Amino acid sequence: MSAGTRPPDAAVMTPTARQRLRLLLGVDGSTAVSAVGSGLVVSMAMLVPVVAYPALVFSGPLAPWSGLGVGLGLFSALLLTAALVIGGSIQGTVAVGQSEPAVVLGIAAAAMATELQAAGTPDRLLPTVIAAIAVSALAVGVAFLLLGTMRLGNLIRFVPYPLIVGFIGGMGWLLIAGAVRVVTGVALTFAHLPELAEPPMLARWLPALLVGCALWALQRWRPRALNVPVMAIATVAGFWIVAAAQATPFARLAADGWLLAPIPPVGAWLTRGPAGFFDGVDWAIVAAHWPQILTLVTVSLMGVLMQASVIEIAARADVDLNRELRAMGAGNLLCGGFASLPGYHSLGMSLLSLRIGRPARASGLTVLCVLGVLLAFGGSAVAYVPKLAIGGLLFYVGLDVLLGALLNVHLRRAGAEFAIAMMVLATVAFAGLLQGLALGVGAGIVLFVIKYSQVDVVRRESSAIERHSNVVRPPRARQRLNALGDRVMILELQGYLFFGTSTLLVNRIRARLTDRSRPRPRFVLLDFRRVTGLDSSVSLSLDKLVQYGRDGRCTLVVTGLAQPLRRPFERLLAAADLAAADPEAVVRLFADLDRGLEYCENRLLASGDEGFGRNEEAFEEQLRLAGGSDAEIALLMRYAERRLYGSDEPLMRQGEEAGDLFFIERGMVEVRLGLPDGREIRLRSMGAGTVVGEIAAYLELPRSASVVAECETRAVCIGYAAMAAMRVSDPQAAALLHAFMARQLAEKLVAATQQLAAVQG
């Protein structure tokens, strides 16, 4: 080859191809070694759960096929990790068949063994269990895919925390029971306790328990990701050292059940296909165990979402839970097709990958390569793995999970929630997974109802003294309302109203109506603007409030009802033969709190004999209250002009430059703000005895809003030019006008301060 000729591979590998490869693998020359090294370490550590968790299923009568279980675990880890490498949202994460589904499948397998033994067909046990594994993986895959496609990954946020803790704690106990079954072949039940206490059995499970406790203590004292694989290797080495010292042959250890069985050749699986495992399946028994399969799906759903959430925090990156569900759904469907164990993210192995290497697709591909090699060529080596090591690892995981639930700091501070968690734990451990799930859901609902019923649905309680409508009233009317405002009970509601909270609301109103130390309210105003929903039982409480009105004790004013919430009230009015628009009705409906307050204030003002209900105030009388003499008033009135306005006729328009000042003597005007989209909103209404236009008059600004007569209105107008002439020619009249305006502004400031105090309170 000449010096100027490039190698063929280099000629093919153009710079663009290198860039594409780097993008695919997620590494470059400086990070490739770290990513591949991370994948090698993680793949070795993954052998612990890959070997240990299938042993929960393939134990007892299924122990002769424990090697097949390890093979299924390897196949499951291969398929699930491949799904994460292709579709996961964080590279570097891995997945295996998890302990929680394995626990459920182990319980189902033990029950199937008993049933088939009783039916006289024990030879159908293996294919029946394989079929149950495949059906479970398919069910998990379908559930994950549906939830991920429907973008319901955040459902985990709504699962009660005590249920999660109790269920996980119960799974910890079942893992411990599974560890005992793996190393002894005997179930951990009260009936088998005498048998497990015999010396031959103690020699099997007690060393495994000591290994698990030692590993748990080591992780508490100096937590390291490599502690688990190192302890597993040390346990295997110690077992074979003892066996060599006692000169126990390999065949004897295998025959006595101390070792796992070898993995069947993977070539036989692929040539025969998954259907070959299903010869002789008792499908009736598989169908009869649908509750366990449903529980397995539920447990897997909680597990995948919780694991992904923890990985999200540890990786300091956003995890798309729906994307993770879709990836794991596809992986579990593949597992079901190959009769492999269902599973999801391995939290410990994923965190190990993220901590010792740069998260990249290259690390995940390295894991896949290692698992594939082990599956194809390492099957015979599994036969040298002692069950002691597997039992010790299961004891460690079970203890860690169980003690984590029992010592949960957050729940121990809440007695009722901790009690529910412990009830769920005990039920899962001693009654069953489905029973524990049902108990947890039921207890969670009861606790939620009890706690929510104690939440005050009244966001704020006030009266017409602290809370005013947007109707600006003259000083005497405001004084009158301040004197009578305690007769309006204003309750601003929030949240969801159901029987418990509505009963508390009625009791609160009843207590106020019967309180002899305060004036009895004439109006009870309920604002529903922040209410999200009503239970049908609320109608009973409404009936009581209507009865209070019929007895002459109060008028019920309801405001801020959204359209879906109006139906119960409209049905109530129809059934009671009431009309919401009737001025004398015991129930009144208004669009918002402001309109309802205006109604109550108008009724209070109209109830007195002092004439506050009349809608007329003479300008001269207001000037006299401001300290003006008859001569000064007569002088000022020479600059004023009385004008009449019809309904909907504008006194001023938003944006105009005019600076006239208006005093409303009779009628009512509405201040309206025009929005950019063409809509207008009401800012306030102003009746007799009020002033409008003072901002433009004093600051020489354009009109900030429009003022329109709501009905026939009479107003006193003082133009900007007239005020300028008054200051020059009649300063005494100008001083009186300024004193009057100062009084008006001071009263507005006092009212605004009271309103702000009510809101802050």
pLDDT at 645: 92
Element (H, E) at 683: strand 680-687
pLDDT at 191: 81
pLDDT at 419: 82
DSSP code string of 353-404:
HHHHS---HHHHHHHHHHHHHHHHH-TGGGGG-BHHHHHHHHHHHHHHHHHH
Is 435 inside any structural domain? no
Which structure tokens are listed for 459? 């966001």
How many C-beta atoms surround the C-beta of residue 668 within 10 A? 18
pLDDT at 11: 44
Q: Which residues pair with 190 in a beta bridge?
A: none
Quick check: 188 and 429 in contact, CB under 8 A?
no
Q: How many residues does the chain have?
A: 761
Is 99 inside any structural domain? yes
Looking at the fold, whether 280 and 396 belong to one and the same domain comes out as: yes
pLDDT at 613: 45
Is 446 inside any structural domain? no
Is 441 inside any structural domain? no
DSSP code string of 698-728:
HH----SSEEEESSSEEEEEE-HHHHHHHHH
Quick check: 343 and 46 in contact, CB under 8 A?
no
pLDDT at 545: 78
User: What CATH number corresponds to the domain at position 464?
Assistant: 3.30.750.24
Quick check: 259 and 386 in contact, CB under 8 A?
yes
pLDDT at 303: 77
Calpha distance 211→391 (Å, rounded): 9
CA-based R_g, the chain, Å: 40
What are residue 455's phi and psi, to 5 degrees?
-75, 130
Is 77 inside any structural domain? yes
Looking at the fold, whether 662 and 730 belong to one and the same domain comes out as: yes
pLDDT at 356: 54
The last residue of one of the domains, among 552, 583, 606, is 606
Calpha distance 464→462 (Å, rounded): 7
Looking at the fold, whether 380 and 506 belong to one and the same domain comes out as: no
Q: Which amino acid is at 90?
A: I
Looking at the fold, whether 467 and 519 belong to one and the same domain comes out as: yes
Looking at the fold, whether 144 and 280 belong to one and the same domain comes out as: yes
Is 324 inside any structural domain? yes
652-655 long-range Cβ contacts below 8 angstroms, 24+ apart: 652/692, 652/693, 652/696, 652/703, 652/706, 652/707, 653/703, 653/706, 654/703, 654/704, 654/705, 654/706, 655/702, 655/703
Looking at the fold, whether 563 and 653 belong to one and the same domain comes out as: no
Element (H, E) at 220: helix 199-221
Is 6 inside any structural domain? no
- Coil, strand, or helix at residue 147? helix
* Region for 389 from its dihedrals, namely left if φ exceeds 0, alpha if ψ lies in -120 to 50, beta otherwise: alpha
Calpha distance 575→566 (Å, rounded): 14
The last residue of one of the domains, among 565, 584, 606, is 606
Quick check: 348 and 228 in contact, CB under 8 A?
yes
Residue labelled with tokens 């704690």:
169
Quick check: 701 and 649 in contact, CB under 8 A?
no
pLDDT at 585: 65
Looking at the fold, whether 540 and 686 belong to one and the same domain comes out as: no
Is 611 inside any structural domain? no
Quick check: 545 and 577 in contact, CB under 8 A?
no
476: domain range? 458-606
Looking at the fold, whether 136 and 276 belong to one and the same domain comes out as: yes
Looking at the fold, whether 533 and 649 belong to one and the same domain comes out as: no
pLDDT at 2: 45
The number of folded domains in the chain is 3
Looking at the fold, whether 599 and 625 belong to one and the same domain comes out as: no
pLDDT averaged over 10-residue windows placed end to end, the chain, 761 residues: 47 54 55 64 69 81 82 88 86 81 87 87 87 92 91 70 75 78 78 85 88 87 74 86 87 81 61 59 89 87 73 66 89 89 78 60 78 74 77 79 75 72 82 71 73 75 83 77 88 82 83 86 90 76 76 82 76 59 70 88 74 68 85 89 91 85 89 86 83 82 88 90 88 88 80 63 53
Say which residues have a Cβ less than 8 Å from residue 10's Cβ, sequence separation at least 6: none
Looking at the fold, whether 415 and 484 belong to one and the same domain comes out as: no
User: What CATH number corresponds to the domain at position 635?
Assistant: 2.60.120.10
Quick check: 396 and 211 in contact, CB under 8 A?
yes
The last residue of one of the domains, among 552, 576, 606, is 606
Calpha distance 429→448 (Å, rounded): 24
Calpha distance 594→754 (Å, rounded): 16
Sign of CA dihedral 152, 153, 158, 162: positive
- Cβ-count burial 563-587 (b if 16+ within 10 Å, e if not): eebeebbeebbeebebeeeeeebbb
- Coil, strand, or helix at residue 758? helix
Looking at the fold, whether 54 and 159 belong to one and the same domain comes out as: yes
